[in-house]
Amino acid sequence: MAGLQQSGAIVPRDYDVFAGLDVDKTSMIPTEPGQRVKTNRLDSRKIAESLRGGQLKSIHVPSTSYRDLRHLVQLRDTHVRQAKATKCRRWHVIESRIINGYL
């Protein structure tokens, strides 16, 4: 299935339409140097020829639940990094007070 893209990116609300499918990356369509003209007609012809020739590499669009889980893991990683930075700052303050004789 060819990726349907307008101006190079799939809008997030349209992203869910492709969830769980393998979509071909239209950015990987080979182009000749000097061919900068970009119209829907030319793009669709290039996509059709590339699909027919098997030149496009498919990408997997993850499901909504998988993306939500990945986002949760990213939030956890951010929290762990921030907690570690806070702990280091506390130790630095305590250490500097000990060195300067305040404690």
- What is the per-residue pLDDT across 44-88, written as a single tens digit (0 to 9) for each? 788 788 777 777 777 777 888 998 999 999 999 999 999 999 999
- Based on the number of CB atoms within 10 Å of its own CB, is 71 exposed (0-12), middle (13-18) or buried (19 or more)? exposed
- Per the model's pLDDT, the better-predicted residue between 91 and 38 turns out to be 91
pLDDT of residue 6 exceeding 60, the answer is no
> Which residues, other chains included, contact 2 with Cβ-Cβ below 8 Å and sequence gap of 6+?
23, 24, 26, 47, 48, 51, 56
pTM: 0.48
d(CA 93, CA 97): 6
Q: Using DSSP, how many helices (H) and how many strands (E) does the chain show?
A: 3, 2
Q: Please provide the average confidence, as pLDDT, over all residues in the chain.
A: 76
Q: What is the pLDDT of residue 39?
A: 75
pLDDT of residue 4 exceeding 80, the answer is no
Domain spans, the chain? 12-60, 64-103
